[in-house]
Amino acid sequence: MQRILSTQLAQHIGETVTVAGWIHRRRLLKSVAFLIVRDAEGLSQVVVEEPATRTQLDELTEESVVEVTATVTRNEQAPGGVELTGPSIRVLSAVDVPLPFELHRPALSASLPTQLDHAALALRHPSRRAALQVAAAATAGFRTALSEQRFVEIQTPKIVGSSTESGASVFGIDYFGRPAYLAQSPQFYKQLMVGVFERVFEVGPVFRAEPSDTARHLAQYTSLDAEMGFVTDHRDVMAALTRTLSVMIATVAARTGVATPKVLPEIPAVSFAEALRIAGAADGEEDLAPAHERALGEWALREHDSEFLYVTGYPMRKRPFYTHPDPASPAYSNGFDLLFRGLEIVTGGQRLHRYEDYVAALAAAGEPLEPYRGYLDGFRYGMPPHGGWAIGLERFVARLLGIANVREATAFPRDLHRITP
């Protein structure tokens, strides 16, 4: 018999159907037992009165996988207004060890490390599933928005021959006996691909060996990257990002029902100098501290009713060497950050596009040219003014759902201490 989903039961009242899923909970009363079966879409309540089935149920434990064939019966008290009566139960996979924690309570009581140790089980809890569903919806929205704006999806190497983007730490690899590194970002590749398709995007893993054991660092995270050519400056990039962000948020709302913030057609933007004033920071500061970002988030909500805020024109000294300076004020950049509820979740900007500017920028940074030679090729052969951004998916999801630790916004986190499961 074809299995149906829990959400389809109401369409089959009076019929005999088959549902299948995990034993979410059993309630074993004296004269009757209730079996709650969980599938991908929800819960089904099964009423067990027949003695042989009751005996079978007594021996089963939570999370065992069962197939239940029964009659769909109306019952206003049951979840969804229906329950299954007169069941026969076939066990597909029995659990015969104690569970490390219970899944049927509203919140998981286990500590985060315990949840992560048993991720395959913990992720079944609605609270943990939700974050991954939001991530999937945000990613789908990202791709939809960019495809509509003529961006072409690319896949770039995660193994690179030289360790660039100095300052941040990289993971070393043994590549057929030669040293190589895990890519910290698709930055140079997406820039080169602007020369091919003008507009490109990539969704993929990036790797950071920063030994930071904080609630917002992961050794592997998912980066939502985009890069676009023929821009006037960073403001064209911000306009494309705003449009993309609004589709991401709308897709999350439509697919998951999660409460989402509004995205204004024009997200407010303040210059770095204004940002320092608003946050009450000293005039000479060269970067925004977390407390400054929080203050800016509160200000944007109060003054503009926006949970998003662009900060533009960060000092060049704090941006990577490929950043394009502001032509009117070369100590400042055509770069921006996007704050979401007072936390930076996107970094972007206009990049250098002339070979000679790269040579000068690397020289000014005291960096050798050689490790960059493969990447700089495209710039010798004609590259338009361009810019782009990178969104950290897990941070975005955590911020959207109010999750304190980014490890809860991914299925199997990797950090300084954790490499399993």
Is residue 116 part of the contact set for its own copies (CB under 8 A)?
A: no
Tokens 């024009």, residue located: 266
CB closer to its own copies out of 213 and 283: 213
Is residue 421 within 8 Å of 119, Cβ to Cβ? yes
CA–CA separation, 286 vs 282, rounded Å?
A: 9
Ligand-binding annotation for 42, yes or no, is: no
Ligand-binding annotation for 293, yes or no, is: no
| CA-to-CA dists, residue 28 to 36, 104, 166, 333, angstroms | 11, 15, 62, 67
Least Å distance between CB 392 and its own copies? 12
Number of chain positions touching its own copies (CB under 8 A): 90
Ligand-binding annotation for 259, yes or no, is: no
Give which of 105, 399, 384 is closest to 252, Cα–Cα.
399
CB closer to its own copies out of 231 and 311: 231
Is residue 369 part of the contact set for its own copies (CB under 8 A)?
A: no
Is residue 375 part of the contact set for its own copies (CB under 8 A)?
A: yes
How far the first Cα of the chain sits from its last, in Å, is: 36
Is residue 195 part of the contact set for its own copies (CB under 8 A)?
A: yes
CB closer to its own copies out of 325 and 378: 378
CB atoms under 10 Å from CB of 56, counted, come to: 17
Kindly tell me which residue out of 110, 130, 209, 258 binds its own copies, with binding defined by CB under 8 A: 209
Kindly tell me which residue out of 70, 89, 187, 207 binds its own copies, with binding defined by CB under 8 A: 207
Is residue 274 part of the contact set for its own copies (CB under 8 A)?
A: no
| Bond into 421 cis (ω within 30) | yes
Structure-token pair, residue 91: 């066990």
Amino acid at 281: A
Ligand-binding annotation for 304, yes or no, is: no
> Interacting stretch for its own copies, rule CB under 8 A, among 57-65, 79-87, 242-250, 300-308?
57-65
Is residue 234 part of the contact set for its own copies (CB under 8 A)?
A: no
Ligand-binding annotation for 344, yes or no, is: yes
Structure-token pair, residue 137: 């919806």
> Interacting stretch for its own copies, rule CB under 8 A, among 15-23, 262-270, 306-314, 317-325?
15-23
DSSP calls for 70-108: EEEEE-TTSGGGEEEEEEEEEEEE---S--SS-SSSSS-
CB atoms under 10 Å from CB of 238, counted, come to: 23
> Interacting stretch for its own copies, rule CB under 8 A, among 291-299, 303-311, 320-328, 383-391?
383-391
> Interacting stretch for its own copies, rule CB under 8 A, among 44-52, 114-122, 265-273, 275-283?
114-122
Tokens 């023929």, residue located: 230
Ligand-binding annotation for 217, yes or no, is: yes
Ligand-binding annotation for 393, yes or no, is: yes
Ligand-binding annotation for 92, yes or no, is: no
Using CB under 8 A as the binding rule, the residues of this chain from 387 to 416 that contact its own copies are 393, 410-412, 414, 416
CA–CA separation, 140 vs 134, rounded Å?
A: 10
Q: Annotated binding site for L-aspartate: which residue ranges? A: 165, 208, 347, 351
